[in-house]
Chains A and B, each alone.
Chain A
Amino acid sequence: MIVRYARVGGRVQPPDNEGLQVEDDGSFSMWRSIAPAVGRFSGKLPPTELSQLRLEAQKAAGGGDLSRQPTMNGSAERFSLDGATATMGSNDDVDGAWGALISHVRRLLGELVSMPEAAVGLELGDGARSASLVHMGAKPIAVDMSKLSIRAVLWGAGFTKLGDWSAPVKPEPAQAEAAGSWNVPLLFDHGLKTGKNKVLHVYVTFALSENGQKAEVRVEHTPPVPA
């Protein structure tokens, strides 16, 4: 194992619940709960990236343990290496021995969402008038939609919130195994008028289970908003 990472907690529900472990041979396993796709992700890092990560982990281990108090109501992170551990608030800026590794792992957490193993994503269609949950990856995953809710927020230039819509949705059946072409259209009658210089963000909250472990998740569609 080169590095094992976890980010948990936070004031806003569902909590952050993210994890990544990279092995010596470059294989990785990642869990994402608040992301553009949620669930299990796996694969192998390219050799150059792996070499870089290994060097950064060695440097961090040389720096010894690091402990910082997270911000109140914020989520917390732990980076575990062979022989050293760092804990801190998520988004704490860290330099020194740990700095490069921490930045790198946080970046990987976003990039590796492109390699799903058993995950659920969100697809918008019809000019953001329809939304569906879709299965991603080669393996199945258990989905609990009994408390599913969907929210759409319309943003304008300058980060101005133009509209905010939300609704509970109860797809049938509420419990499902997502696999293959699994696709669940969601009632999405948001009534928000999209257009030039307007960006729609969509959040769908539900739950996933893996090996009997249930986790609340939020799949997000959050393209950039013009400044």
Chain B
Amino acid sequence: MAAPTTALAPRSQADILFLQSAAGNAAVNTLLEVQRQPPAARPRSTTTGSQPLVKRGSRGPVVEELQTKLNLVPSAAPDLFLPVDGKFDAPTETAVNAFQKNVMGMAIPDGKVGKNTWPAIDKAVSAAESAPHPHPVLNLNDSSPAVGEAQEKLNATAGTALLSVDAVFGAPMLAAVKDFQHTKMAIPAPSGVVDVPTWTALDNAAPGGGTRTARGGKGIEEHVGPAGGGDPLATAIGSIHPVVGPGNVLKGIAVREAQQKLNGFLAAKGAAFMKANGVARLSEDGAFGPKTQAVLVLFQSQSGPLPPTGLADAATWTKLDAFSSTVGTESRKWQETVGGHTYGLTSVYSWALTAKAITITVGFNFVPPTPAAPMPAAPLASWLSFIKTTWNQFKAVDKADPKKSVDIVFNPIQSTDPSARTVKVMPGSGRSDAGQFFVVDPDIAGTVSHEFGHMIGLKDEYQQTAADIRASTGYEAPVGQTTGPAGVSPAQLAQQLQNAIVARAAPSVTPSPAVQAVAGMGQGAFAQRVISAYKTLPSVPVPAVPGVAAAPPSLGVQASAAFATTGDLVKDLDKGLTNFDLGSIPSDKYKVIEVLSYDSGSVMGDPSRQVDQHEHGAEPRHLREFSQIVAHARGGAWLPQQR
């Protein structure tokens, strides 16, 4: 089903009424049809009729699109659920054959998806998506996946993670429903019952949600939230610009960016101003000389004023950034919290904008395992190509004129510049991380692409809180798993987890008491109930742990101080469950926090953690920074889209 990926239509009842009066019911109906389409269910590429022929051996995003769509058509081959991996392999071919035979009625399926099969698949997907989605009436104290869906919609309408998506209709939800009925449905005395009119209003205000039955009997939960929403870019601590001027950066792209922006300032002031102050348009040569400094001092005197230091420092850059440039650098220092733990990183890149592309250059400084060792033979070009495969799929599109677009091109290069990320090239087989790539690592493609995301300032999207996942992805925390271990209440599990924190079991006790407590749990509503129950427990002291050195197979225990529980379960688990000796986070802690948090299925969330039929590696939201750079230079609003 083809649909705009950016629903820019009005959403509130007032907006709808305005549209109705201005454009009539037909326009309203058209709007609602668009809004009723679950945004996250729309496969990422929806260029119906223009998809290329794909067949056995084909690879890439188009195959991902095909697999996603085939999974949404359960009638074609009910027993087969395809991993969305972009590889047109034997199972994908089997599914295509089944679709052609069972749905298209082809006597001899050819297993190829071309000009006839693509439209048929799109039509079948459209039919599956528009199938009735039952909405039971919900009352106080109900508990069901539908309650979770309503909570998602209430959160989306409120524009904040108002309610824990715990699938329990409690007092907070009752208040939220009444508020929604009063403010959005203009009901003077709201009942607080989610009845048919309320569901209709919720569906109109926040499309999506619910679980569809897909191939293999699997349920695919639809996202609730604006398509393309969310901002996974980390917030910079301090300025993203280096200090330019004497004693600091004197040449290069940052200087050229400053010169372009100073020229923007001069152009805005006009020729008379320039003549009166004895300055001329600067040569944009990237070399900081007396003329650049003179204009910079003049700019500072006119801006604020700023102290006339002749240095482009953080305060000066803030003012300079009002002007545009076609080149720039960014050094973004940032922090993120993953699994209750705070990490710090710095991302560095440069960019250049031309008529057809914005090119972002990021440096890797590949070094041998030791300074004295020779550089091992290594597939350096392949590693960089993994980045291009994952990330070079997008363009920035002019919202006012979608025919205008600029490709977003990432250019990872080998560089010895101090700003480049130093990565050791390790010979042989091994397990790569941010600081070392092994030449024979079967998981290197994912590692490199994920780490590159950090290098352009993107946060992780795994082990996140509901508010974090909402902020990063734009969609509400999903309902997920609504049931837990049989015969154990969330309150009991919360108590078990607090006991495990207090006991501070050694990480090498397998499985640890905390892992035993969450056995049978998954991400979603039930886990959120455990989190809520934990909040109500009184704070208790957690004793200090003396360090025990590792003596493999015992992994040892890292010493840690006493503390008191805070009511924040994930943070208390992070602090309270003991780490391996030498500070590494044990798998047990990871496993426990994993089910009590949320992951996206994108490259920044790690598809191996969370399979999500709606997310495929890099997503347009990850590219928003670069479309905004284009917008700043070209004017108007530009949005990232799949090419």
Q: A117 on the interface (CB 8 Å rule)?
A: no
Query: Given A71-B436, A201-B429, A159 and B379 touching (CB < 8 A)?
Result: yes
Q: Using CB atoms and an 8 Å cutoff, list the residues of chain A in contact with chain B.
A: 6, 8-15, 17-19, 31, 33-34, 70-78, 80, 87, 89, 91, 93, 151, 153, 155, 158-161, 164, 201, 207-210, 213-216, 220, 222, 224-225, 227
A216 to B370 alpha-carbon distance, docked (Å): 30
* Cα-based distance from A164 to B433 in the complex (angstroms): 20
Question: Which residue of chain A has the shortest Cβ distance to B378 in the bound complex?
Answer: A159
A8 and B550 in contact, given A77-B582, A201-B442 (Cβ under 8 angstroms): yes
A213, B590: Cα distance in complex, Å: 20
Do residues B551 and A75 form an inter-chain contact, with CB atoms below 8 A? no
Of A74, A164, A222, which is within 8 A of B435 by CB?
A74
18 A-B pairs whose Cβ atoms sit less than 8 Å apart in the complex: A8-B581, A9-B555, A11-B431, A15-B586, A17-B552, A33-B553, A34-B431, A73-B434, A74-B436, A76-B582, A78-B581, A151-B442, A158-B382, A208-B553, A210-B553, A215-B510, A215-B555, A225-B440
Do the beta carbons of A220 and B429 come within 8 Å of each other?
yes
Decide if A33 touches B440 in the complex (CB within 8 Å).
no
A10 lies within 8 A of B431 (CB): yes
Question: CB-CB contacts of B77-104 with A at 8 A, as 1s and 0s?
Answer: 0000000000000000000000000000
Task: Say whether B377 faces chain A, with CB atoms less than 8 Å apart.
Answer: yes
Q: Specify which chain A residues have a CB less than 8 angstroms from the CB of B431 in the assembled complex.
A: 10-12, 34
Contact partner of A213 (CB less than 8 A), chosen from B429, B436, B553, B583, is B553
Most buried by A among B382, B433, B553: B553
Inter-chain pairs besides A93-B373, A216-B510, 4 sampled, C-beta below 8 Å: A8-B584, A19-B550, A33-B552, A161-B445
Which single residue of chain B is at the shortest CB-CB distance from A15? B587
Mask for B342-358, Cβ within 8 A of A = 1, else 0?
01000000000000000
- The one of B369, B556, B584 that contacts A10, using a Cβ cutoff of 8 Å: B584
A17 touches B549 (CB 8 A): no
The closest CB in chain A to the CB of B508 belongs to A213
Asked whether, in the complex, the Cβ of A87 is within 8 Å of the Cβ of B433, the reply is no
| Chain B residues whose CB sits within 8 angstroms of the CB of A210 once the complex forms | 553
Contact pick for A18, options B429, B435, B552, CB 8 Å? B552
* Cα distance, A34 to B438, chains bound together (Å): 15
Q: Which of B373, B378, B379, B440 has the most CB of A within 10 A?
A: B440
Interface of A: prevailing SS: strand
Q: How many whole Å from B473's CB to the nearest CB in chain A?
A: 22
B343 nearest CB across to chain A (Å): 7
* A9 in contact with B580 (CB, 8 Å): yes
Which residue on chain B has the smallest CB distance to residue A12? B431
Q: Which of A34, A80, A151 contacts B549 (CB 8 A)?
A: A80
With both chains docked as a complex, state the minimum distance between the C-beta of B97 and any C-beta of chain A, in angstroms. Answer: 19
The 3 tightest CB contacts between A and B, nearest first, are A9-B584, A19-B552, A93-B370
Q: Are B583 and A70 in contact (CB under 8 A)?
A: yes
**Distance in angstroms between the alpha carbons of A153 and B444 in the assembled complex:** 12
Residues of A within 8 A of B556 (CB): 6, 8
CA distance A15 to B581 in the complex (A): 12
Among A13, A164, A222, A225, point to the contact of B587 (Cβ < 8 A): A13
Contact of B555 among A8, A71, A222 (CB under 8 A): A8
B211 to chain A minimum Cβ distance, whole angstroms, is: 26
| Residue picked from A12, A70, A155, A201, most chain B C-beta under 10 Å | A12
Flag if B428 contacts A222 (CB, 8 Å).
yes
Of listed B379, B434, B442, B587, residue having the most chain A CB within 10 A: B442
Q: How far is the CA of A144 from the CA of B41 in the complex (A)?
A: 42
- Tell me if A76 and B428 are in contact (CB < 8 A): no
Is the beta-carbon distance between B552 and A222 smaller than 8 angstroms?
no
CB neighbours (8 Å) of B436 from chain A are 71, 74, 91
Q: In the bound complex, what is the Cα–Cα distance between A11 and B440 (angstroms)?
A: 17
Pick from B369, B440, B508: contact of A215, CB below 8 A: B508
Given the complex of chains A and B, what is the CA–CA distance between A72 and B454 in angstroms? Answer: 13
Which residue of chain A has its CB nearest to the CB of B431?
A12
Task: Choose among B443, B445, B587 the residue that contacts A216 (Cβ–Cβ < 8 A).
Answer: B587
Chain B residues closer than 8 Å to A80, beta-carbon distance: 549
Residues of A close to B442: CB separation below 8 A: 151, 153, 161, 164, 201
Query: CA separation between A76 and B429, bound complex, in Å?
Result: 18
A210, B443: Cα distance in complex, Å: 30
Cα(A17)–Cα(B555), bound, Å: 6
Closest to B442 in A: A153
Interface centre among A11, A34, A208, A224 (most CB of B within 10 A): A11
Is B580 a contact partner of A31 (Cβ separation < 8 A)? no
Q: From residue A20, how far is it (CB to closest CB) to chain B in Å? A: 9
Question: B residues within 8 A CB of A207?
Answer: 510
Q: Is B371 an interface residue (CB 8 A)?
A: yes
Q: Which residues of A contact B373 (CB under 8 A)?
A: 93
Q: Counting CB contacts under 8 A, is B585 at the interface? A: yes
Question: Could you tell me the distance between the alpha carbons of A151 and B556 in the complex, rounded to whole angstroms?
Answer: 29
A187 and B440 alpha carbons, distance in the complex (Å): 24
Contacts of B551 in A (CB 8 A): 6, 19
B397 proximal to A (CB < 8 A)? no
Which residues of chain B in 550-576 are interfacial with respect to chain A, using CB atoms and an 8 Å cutoff? 550-556
Residues of chain A lying within 8 A (CB to CB) of residue B435: 71-72, 74, 89
Cα of A227 to Cα of B586 in the assembled complex, Å: 35
> Which residues of chain A are within 8 angstroms of B379 by Cβ–Cβ distance?
158-160
Within 8 A of A (CB), among B340-396: 343, 369-373, 377-379, 382
A80 to B373, CA, bound (A): 26
Q: Assess whether A93 is in contact with B369, with CB atoms less than 8 Å apart.
A: yes
Contact between chains at B426 and A91 (CB < 8 Å): yes
Whole-angstrom distance between the alpha carbons of A64 and B580 in the complex? 24
Say yes or no: A222 contacts B382, CB within 8 Å: no
Given contacts A8-B584, A93-B371, contact A78 B550 (CB under 8 A): yes
User: Are B440 and A10 closer than 8 Å at their CB atoms?
Assistant: no
Q: Are B584 and A160 in contact (CB under 8 A)?
A: no
Contacts of B443 in A (CB 8 A): 12
Quick check: B549 and A214 within 8 Å, CB to CB?
Answer: no
Contacts of A89 in B (CB 8 A): 435
The reply to whether A87 and B582 contact each other, CB–CB distance below 8 Å, is yes
| B424 at the A interface (CB under 8 A) | yes
Expressed in whole angstroms, the minimum distance between the Cβ of B551 and any Cβ of chain A is: 6
Contact status A6-B434, CB under 8 Å: no
Q: Is B439 an interface residue (CB 8 A)?
A: yes
Q: What's the Cα separation between A56 and B418 when bound, in Å? A: 34
Complex: A161 Cα to B442 Cα, angstroms: 7
Task: Provide the bound-state CA to CA distance between A93 and B433, in Å.
Answer: 16
| B residues in contact with A161, CB < 8 Å | 442, 445
Query: Measured between alpha carbons, how far is A14 from B508 in the docked complex, in Å?
Result: 12
Q: Closest residue to B345 on the A side, CB-wise? A: A72
The residues of A that contact B590 with a CB separation of less than 8 Å are 13
Chain B contacts for A215, CB-based, 8 A: 508, 510, 552-553, 555
Contact B587 A91 (CB under 8 A): no
Residues of A within 8 A of B583 (CB): 9, 70, 76
B318 to chain A, nearest CB (A): 31
Residue picked from B370, B554, B556, B584, most chain A C-beta under 10 Å: B584
Query: Known contacts A19-B550, A91-B369, A224-B428; is A10 also within 8 Å of B433 by CB?
Result: yes
Min C-beta distance of A212 to chain B, whole Å: 10
On whether the beta carbons of A6 and B371 are closer than 8 Å, the reply is no
Least Cβ–Cβ distance between B302 and chain A, in angstroms: 44
Cα–Cα distance between A10 and B590 once the two chains are bound (Å): 12
**Cβ–Cβ contact B508 & A91, under 8 A:** no
Q: How far is the CA of A160 from the CA of B386 in the complex (A)?
A: 12
Instruction: Determine how close the nearest CB of chain B comes to the CB of A204; give it in whole angstroms.
Output: 14
Q: Which of B428, B433, B552, B580 contacts A73 (CB 8 A)?
A: B433
Q: Which residues of B contact A87 (CB under 8 A)?
A: 582
Cα distance A46–B506 when bound, in Å?
37
Interface-central residue, A10, A34, A91, A214, by most chain B CB under 10 Å: A91
A126-B550 Cα distance, complex, nearest whole Å: 40
